[in-house]
Amino acid sequence: MDAIQITLPDGASREMPRGTTAAQVAAQISPRLAKEALVARVDGGLIDLSQPLDRDVKLSILTAKDPEAVQVFRHSAAHLLAAAVLELYPNVKLGIGPPIENGFFYEFVREAPFTPEDLEKIEAKMHELASRDIPNERKLIPKAEALELYRKSNQEFKCELVEEKAEEPMVSFYTTGKFVDFCRGPHIPSTGRIKAFKLMNVAGAYWKGDEKNQQMQRIYGACFVEQKQLDEYLRRLEEAKRRDHRRVGKELELFAVSDLVGAGLPLWLPKGATVRRQLEEYILEREREAGYQHVYTPDLAKVDLYKRSGHWEHYHEDMFPPMELEHEELVLRPMNCPHHILIYKSKRHSYRELPVRLAELGTMYRYERSGVLSGLSRVRCMTLNDAHIFCTPDQIKEEFSGVMRLVERAYRDLGITQYSYRLSLRDPANTEKYVAGDEMWALAERVLREALDSLGLPYKEAPGEAAFYGPKLDIQLSDVMGHEETYSTIQIDFHLPNQFDLSYIGADGREHRPVMIHRGVISTMERMTSYLIELYGGAFPTWLAPVQAVILPITERQNEYAATVRQEVFSAGIRVELDDRNEKLQAKIRDAQLQKIPYMLVVGGKEAEAGTVSVRHRSRGDLGPKPMAQFLADLRQEVDSRALDTPASAAK
List of residues contacting Zn ion (CB under 5 A): 183, 337, 518
- List the end-to-end C-alpha distance of the chain, in Å, as a whole number: 70
Looking at the Cβ atoms of 178 and 557, the one nearer to Zn ion is: 178
Q: How far is the CB of 100 from Zn ion (least distance, A)?
A: 13
The helix (H) or strand (E) run that includes residue 176 is strand 170-176
DSSP per-residue letters across 55-116: S-EEEEEE-TTSHHHHHHHHHHHHHHHHHHHHHH-TTPEE----EETTEEEEEEE-SSPPPH
CB contact at 8 A, 423 and 448: yes
Looking at the Cβ atoms of 286 and 519, the one nearer to Zn ion is: 519
Measure CA 125 to chain center: 34
Q: How far is the CB of 183 from Zn ion (least distance, A)?
A: 3
Alpha-carbon gap, residue 203 to 207, rounded angstroms: 12
Looking at the Cβ atoms of 221 and 415, the one nearer to Zn ion is: 221
The 3-state DSSP class for residue 336 equals coil
Q: How far is the CB of 407 from Zn ion (least distance, A)?
A: 16
Q: How far is the CB of 173 from Zn ion (least distance, A)?
A: 10
Looking at the Cβ atoms of 185 and 604, the one nearer to Zn ion is: 185
CB contact at 8 A, 577 and 589: no
CB contact at 8 A, 266 and 373: no
Q: In 112-226, where does DSSP find H-type helix? A: 116-131, 143-152, 156-165
Q: How far is the CB of 172 from Zn ion (least distance, A)?
A: 10
The 3-state DSSP class for residue 646 equals coil
Looking at the Cβ atoms of 362 and 375, the one nearer to Zn ion is: 362
Looking at the Cβ atoms of 185 and 538, the one nearer to Zn ion is: 185
130 class by beta-carbon count within 10 Å (0-12 exposed, 13-18 middle, 19+ buried): buried
User: Taking the C-alpha atoms of 407, 408, 413 and 415 in order, what is their torsion angle to the nearest 10 degrees?
Assistant: 110
Q: How far is the CB of 60 from Zn ion (least distance, A)?
A: 22
Looking at the Cβ atoms of 25 and 183, the one nearer to Zn ion is: 183
30 class by beta-carbon count within 10 Å (0-12 exposed, 13-18 middle, 19+ buried): exposed
Q: Which of 452, 485, 489 is nearest to 474 (CA)?
A: 489
Q: How far is the CB of 297 from Zn ion (least distance, A)?
A: 12
Q: How far is the CB of 493 from Zn ion (least distance, A)?
A: 8
Sign of CA dihedral 194, 196, 201, 206: negative
Looking at the Cβ atoms of 96 and 592, the one nearer to Zn ion is: 96
Q: How far is the CB of 278 from Zn ion (least distance, A)?
A: 25
Q: For residue 218, what are the contacts with CB-CB under 8 A and spacing of at least 6?
A: 95, 105, 106, 107, 108, 202, 203, 204, 205
Q: How far is the CB of 414 from Zn ion (least distance, A)?
A: 22
Which amino acid is present at 295?
V
Q: How far is the CB of 144 from Zn ion (least distance, A)?
A: 21
Alpha-carbon gap, residue 632 to 627, rounded angstroms: 9
Alpha-carbon gap, residue 159 to 154, rounded angstroms: 9
Alpha-carbon gap, residue 476 to 459, rounded angstroms: 11
